[in-house]
Structure 1
Amino acid sequence: MTTGIAIRHYTGDQAPALRPLLLDVYTEIYADAARTDPFASPDRFAEGLDHWTARPGWSCVIGYDNDQPVGYAYGAPLPPGSRWWGGLLTDVPADTITENGTRTYAFSELMVREPWRKTGTARRLHDTLLTHRPEQRATLLVDQDHPKVHALYQSWGWTTLGDLRPRLPDAPLFHAMLLGLPLAP
């Protein structure tokens, strides 16, 4: 595991200053996918980023190796009446997807730049973002075309709730996953 990575915490009021860095890292990581997949375009990501950073409770962690950003993770609590579950294709009890604004933290993004992959950095970012969350649980979406990523999250304790296709143009089919909180520090 990489120990020389410093992880810094950020909140929504810092999002405008972070936006260029977050977009640059995304554009680097998804350059190949963006050539053929409209859902992976930097413009689409920028729209989603702006949506997320405007949410109450948005939080972010960024890992740095000296002054180099190595990756980040961010998310926000789901508000009452959240559209997050709107594309759920699996039947689940209604109370499973009822949000009150403090029940579920949506773990929206986790990305690590190539030189720092397979070093434990992704897990450190994940754990650092989620360890002190006050919500009961976290949720995330994993593209079903990425079974290794799905297996990785399962190895970290996430369970699959069902299939979900966001109501967004060109959206892929995802596994909707849940993780009980709080994480042990």
Structure 2
Amino acid sequence: MTTGIEIRHYTGGQSTELRPLLLEVYAEVYAAAALSDPFASPDRFAEGLDHWSARPGWSCVVGYDGEQPVGYAYGAPLPSGSRWWGGLLTDVPADVVAETGIRTFALSELMVREPWRKTGTARRLHDPLLTARREERATLLVDQDHPKVHALYESWGWTTLGGLRPRLDDAPLFHAMLLGLPVAP
């Protein structure tokens, strides 16, 4: 393992060729969780990946240590009328959750394989994904059972909007977070 991580960018047109790699890394990172949590199953993740990667504006960054993938981050803009905010448990003004299709980039996934955790790799994936975005803000969901992850995002400038439970079977309770864009390179 080195700290010289190379970041490679991908778009929706490359998602089919990238899919096996993303699924393989997910299966490794979430192997323990998938044993007891149906929301973490690889099949469910594959469905979500296919949904996200088919969206207009989908973007993904993959970090490599040599030719070894160390992790990735991906997301897409929220469409007008998005259901993203449908499970919000906190009252907020309607204009805060109004989507236009170009207002908010949803960071759907960010994961790092075990040997590269606590090396700054997550930030090395996060920043390049968001730096080039043209939306005014980004959003993500953090499982409320992971306070260290929540605190990490806060240290990167994310703020908590409120609690959110997606309208999906077996979905955990999340913190919905926002970050103003652009992110400084």
Q: TM range, normalised to the smaller chain?
A: over 0.9
Gaps of 5+ in 1: none
Work out the CA distance in 2 between the residues paired with 1:117 and 1:3.
11
SS at match of 1:10: strand
Question: CA RMSD of the aligned region, Å?
Answer: 0.7
In structure 2, stretches of 5+ residues that fail to align are none
Per the alignment, residue 18 of structure 2 pairs with 18
Cα distance between partner residues in 2 of 1:184 and 1:59: 18
* Letter of the structure 1 residue corresponding to residue 80 of structure 2: P
The alignment covers a number of residue pairs equal to: 184
| Structure 1 residue runs of 4 or more that deviate by more than 2 Å after TM superposition | none
Identity %: 83
Are the counterparts in 1 of residues 3 and 119 from structure 2 also a CA contact under 8 Å?
Answer: no
1:36 is matched with which residue? 36
SS of residue paired to 2:80: coil
**1:93 matched residue in structure 2:** 93
Say whether the 8 Å CA contact 2:3–2:65 is kept in structure 1. Answer: no
Hey, what's the Cα distance between the residues in 2 that align with 1:26 and 1:132?
25
* SS of aligned partner of 1:4: coil
The alpha-carbon deviation at position 14 of structure 1 amounts to 0.1
Note the C-alpha offset of 1:93: 0.3
Residue 166 of structure 1: CA displacement?
0.3
* CA distance in 1 between partners of 2:5 and 2:101 (Å): 32
CA deviation vs aligned residue, 1:96-140 (integer Å, no higher than 9, x gap): 000000000000000000001111110010001001110000000
TM-score by length of 1: 0.98
TM-score normalised by L of structure 2:
0.98
Deviation at 1:3? 4.3
Residue identity matched to 2:47: E
Q: Does 1:62 align with 2:62?
A: yes
